[in-house]
Amino acid sequence: MPVISMKELNLYNKKVLIRLDLNVPINDHGKITSHARITASIPTIELAIKKRAKIIICSHLGRPKEGNFQKKFSLLPIFQYLKEYFNSVKITFSKTFSFKEIEKSEIIMLENVRFNIGEKKNCSLLSKKYASLCDVFVMDAFGTAHRSEASTCGIGYFSKIACAGPLFLSELSSLKKALKNPVQPVVSIIGGSKVSTKFKILQSLGKISNTIIVGGGIANTFIATDKKIGKSLFERDYLHHAKKLKSKFNILIPTDSRVGTEFSKNAVARVKNTSDIKENEEIMDFGDKTISKALKIIKLAKTIIWNGPVGVYEFKNFQKGTKSIALEISKSNAFSLAGGGDTLAVIEMLKIKEKISYVSTGGGSFLSFIEGNTLPTISMLQKKYFKIDKKKQINSTNT
């Protein structure tokens, strides 16, 4: 089913509320440590400026307690960054829904939506308040598309017009390209600590992947189905599930690993066969034989889906598996789709973003979409598509 695109609408002199995902890491000194999500959102703001809209932008940041202002969750540092970036545009920060009339191409940035009571419960009263601020609602925060909240979903139902922003549509397009009739062979790399959180994803990807490469605690659970793995992180309750997945799909399970005797950045890494791990040892990365097998598989891929590091990449002695795989993906001519918080951190660390076909900012939505779930925000946008007179709203001479 289709959705309305922001690009096709006439936004001249209209109040446009854009829901962005500006949930970026900010340190204790109020400094933004990664600008990736802000950078990804800037083209949408620029489009609204170009269309001479009256612009209101909003986002969440972290998980504050509703109804309580907490300085560490304020969007003020992000506002200051945007004010410097858009130095030729008037941009104002507002802690309330009451502000003066907005001029064309002017920007009002609202404080963290999660300070508002009723946000997470998708309160209809709060949704109506958001909707009353605008003529057009633009949903461009794909990272929150899996959440039915007042500023992501509820507002859309009460707005005159609700449409998808360019970043949102780009995310959808790339996910569909990788998941719906992908070019074969398909290789999926799934890392992380728990099979339980990725079980549905492994099932979904197994249906379209020629090979799934598993790493991290997920791989440990697969290894533990028939081997002793010392004090390595794994999920005993999911051993049966891992056996079923192993019998059903082609899964590359490590045959050797880098192990340490303590979970520390100073831990010494030793490469051992997975059948020789002692009780005091902990698996923390792929061994060289497993890395070699994984790289050969990735070299042959035409579509690559990557979510999660395969080892404790934060520790220098246990980075080799994740770095080797990430760099091989960056060299590939295959269509590569990467997503998830730790995956983005690895991409930033290695400075390979431009070499990945598409890096999703989605996080939870990325994973939920891969699982095959219908995202509530997408459902809302599809319903709104049939409720407006598009001929009236679309301006074929948009600037």
Would you name the residues annotated as active-site residues?
37, 194, 341, 364
How far apart (Å, rounded) are the C-alpha atoms in residues 248 and 232? 25
Strand partners, 359: 338
Token pair belonging to 237 = 């309750």
Note whether 215 and 309 are within 8 A (CB).
Answer: yes
Between the alpha carbon of residue 335 and those of residues 184, 304, 338, the distances in Å are 10, 6, 10
Contact 289, 256 (CB under 8 A): yes
Which residues have a Cβ under 8 Å from the Cβ of 364 and sit 6 or more positions away?
143, 144, 146, 147
Helix (H, G, I), strand (E, B) or coil at 26: strand
Sheet with 15-19: strands ordered across: 91-94, 107-110, 54-58, 15-19, 136-139, 161-164
Helix 195-208 to helix 216-223 angle, to the nearest 10 degrees?
80
Residue 185, preceding peptide bond in cis (omega within 30° of 0): yes
Q: Give Cβ neighbours of residue 113 (< 8 Å, ≥ 6 apart).
A: 58, 59, 60, 119, 149, 150, 151
- Report d(CA 23, CA 73) in Å as an integer: 10
> Rounded to whole angstroms, how far apart are CA atoms 13 and 35?
30
Determine which helix (DSSP H) or strand (DSSP E) holds 248, and give its type and residue range.
Answer: helix 239-248
CA distances from 283 to 199, 230, 235, 239, 341 (A): 21, 8, 14, 17, 22
Any residues with CB less than 8 A from the CB of 354 and at least 6 apart, and which?
none
Residue 308 to residue 345: CA distance in whole angstroms = 10
Alpha-carbon dihedral of residues 48, 52, 58, 59, nearest 10 degrees? 20
